Structure 1
Amino acid sequence: MEYEKIIPCINAEGEVPGNVIKLAEQYSYGGADELLLYHYAKDERSREEFLSLVKKLADKIDLPYIIGMYVKRLEDVKKAFYTGASSVLIKYSALDEKTVLKEAIDRFGSDKIIVELDRKECMDADISKSDGNALLASLKAAGVGKILLKHVELSPHTIEMLEASPIEFIIRDSLVRNDIVCLMKISKVTGIATNFFENKDIMKVKLALKENGIPVNTFESKIPFSEFKLDADGLLPVIVQDYKSEEVLMLAYMNEEAYNKTIAGGKMTYYSRSRQALWLKGETSGHYQYVKELIIDCDKDTILAKVQQIGPACHTGNPSCFFTELVKKEYHNYDPIHVFQEVYDRIADRRKNPREGSYTNYLFDKGIDKILKKCGEEATEITIAAKNPGTEELRYEIADYLYHLMVLMAERGLDWSDITNELAHRK
């Protein structure tokens, strides 16, 4: 199902970077579907500082984001995508060379490039024509798939023009004069970009939109609570797990009211057996748990909650409530991500705490050129091994290459989260 999006806007120009990141985090936790981050300064230094800020922000949020910036050449669009952006917003009126737009669409795809227009640029349409006005028709011909339209004033003419457009719209609006329900009921409107939702509960807004027949992305249980098997007190145990690391964080209980509040608000709410009352996790400490996924087990008597944990989960200050070891037998963890991280951590530790005779420290001591040379050599070894029968040699050479690649990552200050985040953005 296609959902209409709530897209909060953040103007980074002149803002303290820490405030931008904090606001983006709030939107990410609070139910936004996407973010629009923009800074239209033309000087190179300001643009580079903005892109650097976005890169830092990308590590803090789990939300697709659109970057709006001054684009002079295709290289500017590339740099925006290098931050992990899902789309790049190009202000049409600020384009010195209109050919850059076509180049960007050809290079990255029509779904990745959004064109920003002011209402005055495309509201003089002859709506009796099936293709709308000349500008919209030319943008459609150039491959533009979506327009962000500013300064809209709702009227029958505006609605008719939008409905007749060959291109879909995101409406950027302060929501002071225009009603969000009216805007989102226009079939060619796929989302609202606004700064209206700062310090507001977006999930509540979405529920209100849903009641008005707007298809928005909210949590909705696929199985009614009445089908769950509860204990004698009418409760259901909930195992809570970090959605990224998959570390088990805690065990708690829910009754039907707690479950419904969790679904409606997107924050984990439990029932306290000792206090005999509902308990919104983090309400006092600020250590909220934001819902990513709820899964019921085969017997329908236990829920697995995958969450984004803010701060520690345990009241003791530990990340997890499970930290007291009872018995243990040494074993190898063969999970690929765990192995990669373990090897990387060992390499990073060698860099920080050199050990005499260590090959890893030898590479660090020789510097980047030696590390790059070894990466190149190992890549060649992989090519040779791949041409030979069997896979044993190939497996060995790939492992060698990955080791040297991790040395390079540590040398340049990258870790596996940087790489996995980049890959995740490419889905």
Structure 2
Amino acid sequence: MGNHSSGDVVPEGDDGARKAAVTHYFTAGSWIEGAAVQQLEEIAGLPGMISVAGFPDLHPGKYGPVGIVALSQRLYPQLIGNDIGCGMSFFELSLPLRKFRVEKAAEQLRRLEQIDLGDITTRLVEHDLAPDMRPQSLGTIGGGNHFCELQAVDEMFESELEGVADRQKLYLLVHSGSRSLGAELFGQTLGGDEHLRDGLAAGSDAAVEWLARSGECVRWASLNRQMVAERAARALRADLSLIADVPHNLVRTTASGFLHYKGAAAVGAGVVAPVAGSRATRSYLVQALAGAQRSHWGISHGAGRKYDRKAMHGRVGTNRSERDALRVNAWGGVAICEDRNLLIEEAAGAYKDAAKVVADLEAFGLVRPVAAMKPLVTYKNAQPQERRPQKAKWERTTIRRMRHG
């Protein structure tokens, strides 16, 4: 583990084999694991790889590092993983901040995934998807680091971007992906006859099929985030409008080759994108600058993990009072998470500092900060309402006590 400075890595390995150029878009002050940097080097040595960009949220992954964009002449599905199309969508709510009450909103959001979404098949067809494509999973968060979070502006950096952030308004950030749809494609791809270590040749049947099906996953995931937000808005009795929808697990096909985005937000010039913190730290809105063309139009999508899930057990939440403390934050916000393990594994301490991530992105001329957002209610999961009346009362009392000291 340790810190690493910025700059291009010499594009030749110790064995004399040519390697892709590797650019670090992070400073010496970033907390980057050595294992992640090593994975970055390994990716650079894959056949057909042209260049690789690593961002300040870089951390190790199972099939390669998370927080990268890799340009290659060959297609590497394993670099994207199983949550194809995962991304973040940012919405403005019609509910003004002055009328907002944390405890009331938390109770309303507890039934988020029970709200009827109406004719789902029509929505699928509207997004050029088959009407039977996992309709029962649409509008659901999923596990891991996915969430639906009510936010408000904590600090403004750019007043020029009207309609993006306002201190008097409430906002919704949704982080979710393609659920079992992407996992199914990933499993089938790994189980195929192709030798994925060397990637898939451009134009091959396997590459064409994967690109088509992964495109469906990206569209499904975007619709999923929209429907999660619609459920949240209905629960809060509010209207919503989309500000940004930015995926970070996908492949873009270009004239130069395949751009693999793994945990890196795929943006364009002037695009506004969220950079998520944790449920107890600030998230950020940033605007991509023309300089992001150097990083293949990729930027960090969040703070990035500092400790893996296993390592968090024993660090925090060892007793009930510690776990209760994990449900509240410095702004009086609360987390709805009834999975004890998930509560611990997704604690704020598991993540890097999103402020430092944004500072690095800004230092390299990739983005400019627009606003810092404070978390007010973070929904991760909840039991069906009818099964938990006594527990709900105990949680309300506990949260109220902790919020007010």
**TM-score, with normalisation over the residues of structure 1?**
0.22
Q: TM-score, normalized by length of structure 2?
A: 0.23
Query: Quick check: which one's helix share is greater?
Result: 1
Higher strand proportion, which one?
A: 2
